[in-house]
Amino acid sequence: MRTLSSFLEQLGVENTPFNVWEYDKNQQYRPYSSTIKSVKAFNSVLEQRAQWIVEIPRQNDALFYLILPEINAVSPVQFADNRVQSMTHAA
């Protein structure tokens, strides 16, 4: 697990493309309704939800991170079918 600020800083420094999923009232995640193209834009909406998923696409797969703004934490997860399947170890 790592801090939200260090995670966002790394995304910004590396200029990593990412997708954002929001936790909805049906207790699952869905793509965020607005386009977020920068860390600054994401940072401005973070407090709107208690949980987010950040997806970082890679060549043949993707990395997923659970974002918990209320406790300033980020953790890598297995994500499928719009749900967190399990927590994973940091790469």
Question: How many domains are there within the chain?
Answer: 1
pLDDT of residue 90: 62
Residues sharing a CB contact under 8 Å with residue 55, sequence separation 6 or more, in sequence order:
18, 19, 20, 21, 62, 63, 64, 79
pTM above 0.85, yes or no: yes
pLDDT of residue 20: 95
Cα dihedral value 39, 56, 69, 86, nearest 10: 180
- Work out the pLDDT band at 34, boundaries 50, 70, 90: confident
Q: Could you count the other beta carbons within 10 Å of the beta carbon of residue 44?
A: 11
pLDDT of residue 91: 54
Q: Could you count the other beta carbons within 10 Å of the beta carbon of residue 5?
A: 11
> Which domain covers residue 49, as residue numbers?
2-87
72 residue type, one letter: N
pLDDT, tens digit, 9 for 90 and up, residues 37-82:
899 999 999 988 889 999 999 999 999 999 999 999 999 999 999 9
What's the rounded mean pLDDT across residues 1-21?
91
CA–CA separation, 33 vs 20, rounded Å? 9
